[in-house]
Amino acid sequence: MPVKKEIKPEKTLSEKVNELLENAHEQELKELVNDQYPQDIAPVLENLKDEERIFCFSLLELEIASTVLTELSSETQMKLLKTLGTEKFSSIISQMDVDDATDLIIQLPEKEKYSLLKTLPDPVQQAHVQELIHYPPESAGGKMSTDFLRLRSDMTIHLAFNYVRRQAPEYKAQIYYLYVVDNGNKLVGVISLRNLISAPPNDLVANHMNTDVITCKVTDDQEHVAKAISKYDLIALPIVDEEYSLKGIVTIDDVVDILSRETTEDIYQGSGISDEFQSDELISGKVTFAVQARLPWLLITLIGEAIAALIIASYDKTIISAPIAISFMPLLSGLSGNVGGQTATIIVRGLVTGDIDLKNTAKHIFHELKIGIIIGLICSLVTGLIAWLQHSDPTLGLIVAFALVCSIISAVLLGTIFPILLQYLKKDPAAASSPIITTVLDILTFTFYLMIISSTLKYLN
């Protein structure tokens, strides 16, 4: 009987790289890393030791190295800068899109930032980066790219097409739309590449451009830009200044990054984690970064829960007199906290996506209130029956049910009003994190429940 050969699984890219490093096969390693997608190489480099990472990175071709660099964590980027030196680093950055180069350079200390800028070999890229670094990182100006083509409205289609053919090779970014400007660089229209190709050669660009152009200002928040591109199904969005001069464009790939960052930020804030640090710093950065991001809200929660503990301690006689009734406090706290967290999550998402308008605040509060009453009645009925049947005391069942329905309604109102209030104050509604809502609810729930128990002690068995 023939012996079956065991089929070994194919080695992962990480395993191949490590094996070639161990055996010092430099040429094979160079061919391997340059034959991969940069997005696949980056996580492999992140997991290598510093010396091995630098060695592998030095084997990359300039164009590939520039893309890999954008995929690495900020901490790893800074380590590579210190090791490779400004001159080598600037040659890599020169291969990047202007917006990616700006994102990297803006992280540097002021002295290193301008030192690196001066060494960029392309004066055009240098000028564009110098312009972009003055915009806030999370604004439209901070996210836009200056790699786009301008046309004049009085150009013929034939002239415009030849111009695009000559200029296109110099642009690193994809060309989606062609933007039409006047003599003062004011945006007057946009024409797609498809329309340019299909238009009669002797006709004017003005006759085929779309003058109803959706734009954002350089000062707009990046989230506003992402919403506009998503809402109108655009591939790229022109960014203008107060005088309507065309300054740059934000493309769909930038929007994916923006939405990813915004989602991560909302998730962290919803869990009581500061958004001042990047996700890679929290996961693989210094321990102090993670502590600084997580500790402040925990301390606030600690203070809040300490207040709740003081309230409980002030009712010590009630607790001694009715220990059975007190046993339901964790249930009231846990259920109301979950309801409050659920409501806040729904409201925050609605505010972020634009589904909830501040003009209709009363409508949304009333809608959530109705939901809270229904949920509260169902949960309180079940809990009240459990308390009654378990302890053969209908009064206890009634008290627990009443306290729970009031607690859940309070949780819904707090989870609805708090994010809306933050949005009204022009603050991030995601800051209405679950830890804050849960802590406030604990204080309210324990106070209310213990007051009821104290006033009804004589009716309890």
Helices and strands, counts by H and E, the chain: 23, 6
Supply the DSSP symbol for 75: H
- For residues 35 and 59, is the Cβ–Cβ distance under 8 A? no
Give the separation between CA 353 and CA 234, rounded to whole angstroms: 17
pLDDT of residue 63: 86
User: Quick one: tokens of 442?
Assistant: 């604990």
The three-class DSSP label of residue 189 is strand
- For residues 372 and 408, is the Cβ–Cβ distance under 8 A? yes
pLDDT of residue 239: 93
Radius of gyration of the chain (CA): 30
Provide the phi-psi class of 120: left if phi over 0, else alpha when psi is between -120 and 50, else beta: beta
> Where in the chain are the domains?
13-134, 150-252, 279-459
Q: How far is CA 278 from the centre of its chain?
A: 10
The three-class DSSP label of residue 309 is helix
Amino acid 63 reads E
- Rounded-to-10 torsion of CA 399, 400, 401, 406: 90
Q: With b meaning 16 or more CB within 10 Å and e meaning fewer, what string describes 82-112?
A: eebebebbbbbbbbbbbbbbbbbbbebeeeb
Give the separation between CA 74 and CA 358, rounded to whole angstroms: 37
Q: Which residues is 151 bridged to in the sheet? A: 180
pLDDT of residue 323: 83
User: What residues have CB less than 8 Å from 96, skipping those under 6 apart?
Assistant: 66, 67, 69, 70, 104, 172
Residue 14 sits at the vertex; the CA angle it makes with 37 and 62, to the nearest 5 degrees, is 40
Structurally, at CATH architecture level, domain 279-459 sits in Orthogonal Bundle (1.10)
pLDDT of residue 95: 82
Which CATH entry fits the domain spanning 13-134: 3.20.20.60, 3.30.365.10, 3.30.1360.120, 1.25.60.10? 1.25.60.10
pLDDT of residue 1: 46
Q: Which residues is 250 bridged to in the sheet? A: 237
pLDDT of residue 278: 56
Q: What DSSP assignment string belongs to 11-64?
A: PPHHHHHHHHHHTT-HHHHHHHHTTS-HHHHHHHHHTS-HHHHHHHHHTS-HHH
CATH number 3.40.50.300 given to 150-252? no
The three-class DSSP label of residue 166 is helix
How far from each other are the two terminal CA atoms of the chain, in whole angstroms?
Answer: 80
Digit-by-digit pLDDT tens for the chain (461 residues) are 454 445 456 678 888 888 888 888 889 989 998 998 988 998 889 888 888 888 999 899 988 988 888 888 878 888 888 888 777 888 888 888 888 888 888 877 777 777 777 778 777 778 888 888 888 888 888 888 888 888 998 899 999 989 888 887 776 667 778 999 988 889 999 998 888 988 999 999 999 999 999 999 999 988 888 888 888 888 889 999 999 999 989 888 888 777 777 666 666 665 555 555 555 555 555 667 667 766 777 787 888 888 888 988 888 888 888 888 888 888 998 898 888 888 888 888 788 777 787 888 888 888 889 998 999 999 999 999 998 888 888 888 899 899 999 999 999 999 898 888 888 887 777 665 667 888 888 899 898 889 888 888 777 76
* CA dihedral sign, ordered 14, 20, 22, 24: negative
Q: What DSSP assignment string belongs to 330-376?
A: HHHHHHHHHHHHHHHHHHHHHHHHT-S-GGGHHHHHHHHHHHHHHHH
pLDDT of residue 151: 92
User: Quick one: tokens of 44?
Assistant: 């492999």
Query: By C-alpha distance, which of 389, 444, 452, 433 is closest to 411?
Result: 444
